[in-house]
Amino acid sequence: MKWKKVHKYILFKIDEKSRLVVVDKVGGPGEGYNDLAASLPDDDCRYAVFDFDFATVDRARSSSSHGETSS
């Protein structure tokens, strides 16, 4: 996610049948955190990795990816 900036976020879920973690949805570079939040189901758990841009105190641009879960 970090190198080419192709995906803004990736949602993962646990496949009930195979019991493996699989990709549920991929967000494009034009999507944001609100798009990720709207993609989360109300009645099931998902794992998310979101790539966000931010500026440091000296105004240098940077990027970071963090994972979180919903249940």
Strand order in the sheet with 9-14: 21-27, 9-14, 46-55, 61-70
- Tens of pLDDT along the chain (71 residues) come to 455 678 899 999 999 999 999 999 999 988 999 999 999 999 999 999 998 877 778 766 656 555 655 65
**Domain boundaries in the chain?**
9-70
- Round to whole Å and give the CA distance between 45 and 25: 13
Residue 37 per-residue DSSP state: H
The tokens for 11 are: 């949602």
